[in-house]
C-alpha cells in the first residue's frame, strides 16, 4: 500500500513539474513570444486575405479538429469549382492545409510542394483518376505526377518544350535555375516574342547599325540577340538599355 502511495506521489510531482517547468522553458519574450507556449492561443498574424475573420477563429477552426475543410469550401467554392482544368483536382482533395497555410503574416497562402499531391491522406478516396487529380501512377516520385492534367489548358511555351516539365521545373519552384531556349524546335523568334515599340523607331536603327554593322530588320533578332539571354547583345555584351 505504501508503495502505491509513493508511486502516486511521484506521478503527482511529475505532473506539477510538467505544468510549471515546460511553459517556463518554452515561453518567449518580445518578438519571439509567439514561438513559445503562447502559440497555442496566438499562432501568428493572419494574411490580408483573411484579416476580416481575425476575431472569429471558428470561421475556419473547429474545436478538437483544427482547420475544417468544410468551412474553407463554404467561402472559397465558386461556380467553376471542380470543373476548371487547372483546379478541378480540388474537388477530390480533403485537406486544404496540406498546401494552403495561414498565420504566417504576409507569406504566400500557397505552399508550392507538388509532392504533397502524392500523399494518399490528401484525397477523399483511393480511386482518384488522372482526370480528377494530377496523379498518374502510384509511384512516390515526380514521375507519378501528370503535369498536363492541370497545366495543359494554357501552354506558355507554345508546345516547343515538349511535355517533360521536370527537365526545367522542380516540384517546389517554377523559376528555373538558368535560361533555357528551345532553339532546336523553333527557328522563328516571333513564334513567342514580339519586338518592343522601341525597335520600330529611329533609335533602334542607330543601335543596330552600331552593333550589327548594318541596319538589322526587326525580324532578324539573332543579328543582335543570343539565346542565353535577351540582354546579352552580340559584339557588345550585357546591355541595360538599348
Please report, for the chain, the start and end positions of each structural domain, with discontinuous segments joined by +. Answer: 43-167, 189-238
Confidence of residue 159 (pLDDT cuts 50, 70, 90): confident
Lowest mean pLDDT among 34-38, 71-75, 97-101, 137-141: 137-141
- What mean pLDDT is predicted for residues 157-175? 78
Lowest mean pLDDT among 64-78, 85-99, 112-126, 139-153: 139-153
Lowest mean pLDDT among 17-21, 31-35, 179-183: 31-35
Residue 184's pLDDT is 63
- What mean pLDDT is predicted for residues 217-232? 77
Confidence of residue 28 (pLDDT cuts 50, 70, 90): very low
Please report which residue ranges of 31-157 form alpha helices under DSSP H. Answer: 69-76, 148-151
- The model's pLDDT over 103-157, given as tens digits with 9 standing for 90+, comes to 887 777 777 778 777 777 777 654 444 444 555 444 456 666 778 777 777 777 7
Helix or strand run (H / E) with residue 3? helix 2-26
- What mean pLDDT is predicted for residues 213-219? 74
Contact in structure between 110 and 172 (CB atoms under 8 Å): no
- Chain-wide mean pLDDT for the chain? 72
The Cα 21–Cα 183 span in angstroms is: 65
The Cα 189–Cα 204 span in angstroms is: 18
Lowest mean pLDDT among 28-32, 42-46, 109-113, 206-210: 28-32
Q: Which of 43, 44, 100 is nearest to 72 (CA)?
A: 100
What single-letter DSSP state applies at residue 140?
S
Lowest mean pLDDT among 34-43, 78-87, 151-160: 34-43
- What mean pLDDT is predicted for residues 214-233? 76
Reduced to 3 states (helix: H, G, I; strand: E, B; else coil), residue 202 is helix
Residues in the chain: 242
Residue 137's pLDDT is 43
Residue 143's pLDDT is 67
Q: DSSP for 150-169? A: HHTT--TTTTSS-S-GGGT-
Amino acid at each position: 500500500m505504501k508503495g502505491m502511495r509513493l508511486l502516486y506521489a511521484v506521478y503527482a510531482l511529475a505532473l506539477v513539474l510538467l505544468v510549471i517547468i515546460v511553459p517556463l522553458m518554452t515561453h518567449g519574450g518580445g518578438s519571439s513570444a509567439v514561438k513559445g507556449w503562447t502559440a497555442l492561443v496566438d499562432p501568428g498574424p493572419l494574411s490580408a486575405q483573411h484579416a476580416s475573420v481575425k476575431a472569429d477563429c471558428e470561421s475556419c477552426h473547429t474545436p478538437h479538429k483544427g482547420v475544417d475543410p468544410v468551412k474553407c469550401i463554404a467561402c472559397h467554392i465558386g461556380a467553376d469549382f471542380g470543373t476548371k482544368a487547372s483546379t478541378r483536382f480540388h474537388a477530390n482533395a480533403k485537406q486544404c492545409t496540406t498546401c494552403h497555410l495561414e498565420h504566417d503574416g504576409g507569406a504566400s497562402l500557397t505552399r508550392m510542394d507538388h509532392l504533397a499531391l502524392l500523399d494518399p491522406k490528401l484525397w477523399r478516396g483511393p480511386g482518384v483518376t488522372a482526370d480528377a487529380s494530377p496523379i498518374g501512377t502510384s509511384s512516390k516520385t515526380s514521375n507519378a505526377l501528370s503535369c498536363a492534367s492541370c497545366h495543359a489548358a494554357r501552354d506558355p511555351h507554345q508546345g516547343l518544350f515538349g511535355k517533360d516539365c521536370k527537365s526545367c521545373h522542380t516540384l517546389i519552384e517554377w523559376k528555373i535555375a538558368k535560361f533555357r531556349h528551345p532553339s532546336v524546335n523553333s527557328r522563328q523568334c516571333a513564334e513567342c516574342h514580339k519586338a518592343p515599340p522601341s525597335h520600330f523607331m529611329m533609335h533602334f536603327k542607330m543601335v543596330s547599325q552600331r552593333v550589327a554593322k548594318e541596319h538589322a530588320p526587326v525580324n532578324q533578332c539573332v543579328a543582335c540577340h543570343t539565346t542565353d539571354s535577351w540582354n546579352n547583345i552580340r559584339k557588345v555584351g550585357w546591355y541595360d538599355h538599348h
